[in-house]
Amino acid sequence: MIPSYLIDFELSDLPVVETDVIVIGSGIAGLYTAILASEHQRVLLITKKSLLDSNTRYAQGGIAAVTAEDDSPLYHRQDTLLAGAGLCSSTAVDVLVNEGPVGVQELIRLGTMFDVENGELALTKEGAHSHRRILHANGDATGYEIVRALSIQVEMLHNIEVWDDHFVIDLITEDGECHGALVQMQDGKRVFVRGKATVMCAGGAGQLYRYTTNPEVATADGVAMAYRAGAEIRDMEFIQFHPTALSYPGAPRFLISEAVRGEGAVLRNIKGERFMHKYHDLMELAPRDIVARAIVSEMEETRSTFVYLDITHESPEMVKHRFPTIYETCMQYGLDLSTDWIPVSPAAHYMMGGIKTNLYGESSLRRLFACGEVSSTGVHGANRLASNSLSEAVVYGRRIVERIRTIAPQPEGLPAIGHNLGRKDGPLQAIVERRLKLQKVMVRYAGLRRNRESLLRASEELGRQLPFFQSSLTKREEYEFANLLTASLLVVQGAIRREESRGAHYREDFPERNDGTWQRHVLHKRDQEMTEEISDDV
């Protein structure tokens, strides 16, 4: 049983900090939402590390939006729906493709400098996009440029207060309404932050897996908190593995952008043979799930732990100019992207599911919103189209702020909320070991390919960790582990339930997509059985 709060507390014993809008997380969703909300309200932006530490910072490929004359929102819509494999919400996708271009203009207005060629925005292509529509910055450092520009704005705006290095432990809720958050400050003291709206922008869950392109901070905090608070969580079985992360002894699983394939790079097995023609007509630019599984099949067939990515047909000047970050990082390990084939393998990259929201980012709890990777707006379905995530954050961030403006302030007086399980002893096993064990279980039994037996094994292994929730937790590493455990259970339960293969969820024992039974979402709610909901993909 997962409790509603990670710690024992009495709200009336805690100091209270009042604001209008609480934003949790500092990736593109958090920064952008905070900036827009601050035009009319006081904002408190809380981040567990710094404004520059988030998944967004590592985004390379770019941001997808229709800006070229030969492109159209209709094409972008078709591509998104096709990649989403029958589980997108078509209305949510309509919003994304029609409002994405305005979102890009807003980022430019706020200081983001996208790459320009011959006086026009430079556009690249990525997997499953029918047109060149990916804007990028400094070649392959798009996320960093966005975070740089937005964090300068955040620091300048008087209506935004930033709490960095603060950890949000839980949301405070009563009768289906969110009142704010329980926060642990740098010195270990805890406070209750109260606001008329709380916007969860805490990002993804790459750290569920041993091999991930995500930074250390991606520990599923937002989705786990919202689940404990009683919000509806949707489609957690869909975890996207990026096909090409650097796979080299001593090197991190550094992302090698899909844009490298977009510019013509090919995949080769360790015998040097191209192989994607065996798997999909779009070859290296097939949807991500297909490329990732094709790579694993080739790795198995050739008994290797990697395949090669080859862009050596391009000139060294082009490679260095277009992919400076990737080039420099590979060089640190003695690999020259312009002359060497780069060893790559798939790694956990993106959580398609999350906190279920409507078209205004509202969750099933009143006054709780979700934006960015932590949310499940319906845009990504079973498989996110490359570079749609940054556009989703700005499009839905704007809508959330519009909705918050219409919300009444919290009533006077504090809710009488307390929680006491009589927890005493802290965790016995070292937290680092627990985390590593969980990540290995998820890779082995609930990874890119799963089956009922492996998933039941995962469930059993994770279930052994449940007593952790009964211990008295005080450190952020402990809260993070509790969040990883919560989210991994949701991934595994959803994956057991979905007896078919679709998008990023591949069941070896049910290898076909089954629209008759499974064009449905899986919903989780604490203390309730999982339920299903028919998809409105049309």
Binding test (CB under 6 A) with ligand SIN, winner from 276, 386, 431, 487: 386
Q: Note whether 396 and 180 are within 8 A (CB).
A: no
Does 257 bind ligand SIN (CB under 6 A)? Our answer is yes
- 60 close to 325: Cβ distance less than 8 angstroms: yes
- Judged by CB under 6 A, the number of residues near ligand SIN is 9
Helix (H, G, I), strand (E, B), or coil: what is residue 31?
Answer: helix
**Is 61 near ligand SIN (CB under 6 A)?**
yes
Give the residue with the Cβ less far from ligand SIN, 389 or 439: 389
Does 387 interact with ligand SIN (rule: CB under 6 A)? yes
Residue 394 is a binding residue for ligand SIN (CB under 6 A) = no
CB of 178 to ligand SIN, least distance (A): 29
CA dist 203 and 374 (Å) reads 5
Alpha helices in 311-451 (DSSP H): 316-322, 324-332, 388-404, 431-445
* Nearest distance from C-beta of residue 81 to ligand SIN, angstroms: 17
Binding segment toward ligand SIN, per CB under 6 A, in 103-111, 113-121, 255-263, 308-316: 255-263
By beta-carbon proximity to ligand SIN, the closer residue of 126 and 362 is 126
What residues are paired with 75 via a beta bridge? none
Helix (H, G, I), strand (E, B) or coil at 182: strand
| N-terminal to C-terminal alpha carbon distance within the chain | 37
Q: Which stretch binds ligand SIN (CB under 6 A): 12-20, 254-262, 394-402, 430-438?
A: 254-262
Q: Is the CB of 46 or the CB of 295 nearer to ligand SIN?
A: 295
What x-and-dash track marks residues 346-385 binding ligand SIN by CB under 6 A? ----------------------------------------
For the bound state, the minimum distance from the C-beta of residue 45 to ligand SIN, rounded and expressed in Å, comes to: 24
The C-alpha atoms of residue 357 and residue 465 are separated, in whole angstroms, by 30
Closer residue to ligand SIN, CB minimum distance, 237 or 258: 258
CA-CA distance, 201 to 315, in Å (whole number)? Answer: 40
Is residue 66 near ligand SIN by the rule CB under 6 A?
no
The answer to whether residue 60 forms part of the interface with ligand SIN (CB under 6 A) is yes
CA–CA distance, 514 with 510 (Å, rounded to integer): 9
Residues labelled catalytic:
288
Nearer to ligand SIN by Cβ, of 141 and 401: the residue is: 141
* Using rule CB under 6 A, residue 329 touches ligand SIN: no
DSSP 294-330: HHHHHHHHTT-S-EEEE-TTS-HHHHHHH-HHHHHHH
Instruction: Tell me the C-alpha to C-alpha distance, in Å, between residue 274 and each of 278, 279, 296, 311.
Output: 9, 11, 14, 13
Q: Which residues bind ligand SIN (CB under 6 A)?
A: 59-61, 257-259, 386-387, 389
